[in-house]
Structure 1
Amino acid sequence: MRLGIDWGGTKIEIIALSNEGKELYRQRTQTPRDDYRGCLDTVKQLVDAAEDATGQKGTLGLGIPGSLSPRTGLVKNANSTWMNGQPLDKDLEALLGRSVRIQNDANCLAVSEATDGSGAGAHVVHAIIIGTGSGSGIAIDGRAHVGANGIGGEWGGITVPWLKEDEYPGPDSWIGHKGVIDRWCSGTGFQLDYQERSGTLLKGQEIMALKRAGDSTACDAYDAYVSRLGRSLAMCANLLDPDVFVLGGGMSNIEELYADLPDTMAPYIFSDTYETPIRKALHGDSSGVRGAAWLWD
């Protein structure tokens, strides 16, 4: 049996998969924010509950919104900032009495979708999370591409490319740079951009309902979002040229994106033709937790 955990900023979720990939158990609970020790205890409680329910002991993979530094072994680049600087793998191994494999949550999404999702069978899968934050991960032949420094696919801290005159220099972000993809291409960024235009903070689906009804402010916010996301994807197309892009996170449920992004990307792609598909994650917002379980494949 394989156990996977997705440790996010708002929820911690566990899944138990059989060796054939059948779901045996799933549970999620609220993340104890700003409480590292509380998060460790929550992980242990979830693992104990899964193994009690299935009557089996499993391998454990963990997806986090950051990565482990190859130099120090400590968590870095996590937007759940209370994780940064912590020896997460060692702490969990001591707590659970077993080895733990940890990957960036976007890498887990890529592995999941490359294994039995929208990118199954593809050589290179580039998975993009567009949810509370925006990150990306790469799977090559079903395995996460971590990179020499543990930052393979880490696009959230990159400034949105081909900035327009009225966008420069862009808003501040937790990363410390202006106009970055994490700030502008996330669901949070979509909401904040609409708020700046309208003076009202709405959820993404509420903004899209207004857009579909013809509201001009919502239309402008959506067009700006598609442009920024399209330019960011075009940059990755030029650099990596994956076989498929897979979108996950709440914004991936906006069906209009799949029709609008290719035309938005086209002017920025250095090729006379570009037909790489952009697909929604087959396993939805739980794809990352499945990928964490598959880290032991």
Structure 2
Amino acid sequence: MTKRAGMICGGLDIGGTKIEARLFDGAMQPLDSRRVPTPRGSADAFFAAVADQVGWLRAAAGADLPVGIAMTGMVEPGTGIARTANLPISGQPMAARLTQAVGRPLPVMNDSMALAYSEANGGAAEGAAAAVGLILGTGVAAGFCVDGAPAPRFGGLPIEIGHSGMPARALARHGLGLWGCGCGRAGCIEAYVAGPGVARIAEHLGLGPEPAPRLAARAAQGEAAAEQALAVWADLAAEALEVLQMTIDPDVVVLGGGLSQMPGVAERLAAALPARLMAGTPLPTLRLARFGDASGVRGAALLGRRAAAGANV
């Protein structure tokens, strides 16, 4: 397919429960979308579902079109092997299986990288020289773009900030121990800052394992203990932002994921961050994702368009 300005394109956003296909016009406005459950039983069933969604995009567009994929996990650049804990394709050769399923390889990126890429192109990080897309949801991870393009990643990893260690100074401030993480280690940032971590903080403070939406509602009603729990969470999340700022030094951090929907979350984190940074460190601008839950699939579509133009992906 030849490249032309304003090319129609499609994206797939693949998570542990759903495969969303979304069609975009030349101005990146959504035209149509379709969701199907993610098969968990076998790689063959998974790639058949991907092929079905790509077929739907082709039919909806009336022709073949660029398609990109955003998914949990990663694809090793050197081997092309998929590595993911939540999909039945770990160890599979992605390019070969996609070619077999849909007739050609499709470009693939991690979903947090897709968030950053989408928001750096027409979104909340438009024009930023260095933009991070930080997912705060059931897990914690980030993507990184430089001048609007996905930053090269040697091993294909996103910014796995969630599986960096929470600083001991932060745990000491709040009397917290080394909490176990889903990765099998203890003391990861994700164990404290992801959605389940919010509930654990609330339980630690005697409120019971309150999920973030209920905790935020209680704080909004003036309950001091709920507000304290959110303040502890924000302080710990600011430690993650500090790591990003001291290593990557972005000028904009875009927040996505379920926790980004808590009222006032960007302002809460912006207020907590200065106390965690070294003196003289510039503060990034914190913004909510402009495209919300659709930012990942939009980033995947942009990736498909980028690959069709012959750019490195």
Same fold (TM over 0.5): yes
Q: How does 1:33-182 map to 2 (within 5 A)?
A: 33=40, 35-76=42-83, 78-80=84-86, 82-161=88-167, 162-165=169-172, 166=174, 169-182=177-190
1:14 paired residue number? 21
SS in structure 2 of the partner of residue 91 of structure 1: helix
Contact in 1 for aligned 2:199/2:208 (Cα 8 Å): no
CA, structure 1 residues 87+149, in 2 after alignment: closer, same or farther (shift >3 Å)? Answer: same
Structure 1: 5+ residue stretches without partners: none
Contact in 2 for aligned 1:25/1:54 (Cα 8 Å): no
Contact in 1 for aligned 2:171/2:177 (Cα 8 Å): no
2:282 paired residue number? 274
CA, structure 1 residues 252+72, in 2 after alignment: closer, same or farther (shift >3 Å)? Answer: same
Q: Distance in 1 between matches of 2:194 and 2:215?
A: 14
Structure 1 counterpart of 2:151, which letter?
H
In the superposition, the TM-score normalised over structure 1's length comes to 0.91
CA, structure 1 residues 9+183, in 2 after alignment: closer, same or farther (shift >3 Å)? Answer: farther
Query: What displacement does 1:89 show?
Result: 3.1
Segments of 4+ in structure 1 off by > 4 A? 166-169, 195-202
Q: Deviations over 1:97-146 (max 9, x none)?
A: 02210111100000000011000111111110011211100011221113
2:256 paired residue number? 248
Identity of aligned residues (%): 28
- In our comparison, the structure showing a higher alpha carbon Rg is 2
Q: What do you get for the CA RMSD once the two structures are aligned?
A: 2.1
Query: What displacement does 1:54 show?
Result: 2.5
2:11 paired residue number? 4
Contact in 1 for aligned 2:135/2:257 (Cα 8 Å): yes
2:196 paired residue number? 188
CA, structure 1 residues 87+167, in 2 after alignment: closer, same or farther (shift >3 Å)? Answer: farther
Structure 1 counterpart of 2:278, which letter?
F
Q: Count residues in correspondence.
A: 296
Query: What displacement does 1:198 show?
Result: 4.8
Larger deviation, residues 168-177 vs 243-252: 168-177
Q: Distance in 1 between matches of 2:171 and 2:28?
A: 45
Larger deviation, residues 118-127 vs 151-160: 151-160
Q: Deviations over 1:67-122 (max 9, x none)?
A: 1123432122x341533222233212210002210111100000000011000111
Q: Distance in 2 between matches of 1:293 and 1:153?
A: 21
1:263 paired residue number? 271
In the superposition, the TM-score normalised over structure 2's length comes to 0.86
Q: Deviations over 1:195-236 (max 9, x none)?
A: 455575444212211121233443233122111111110111
Q: Distance in 1 between matches of 2:225 and 2:85?
A: 29
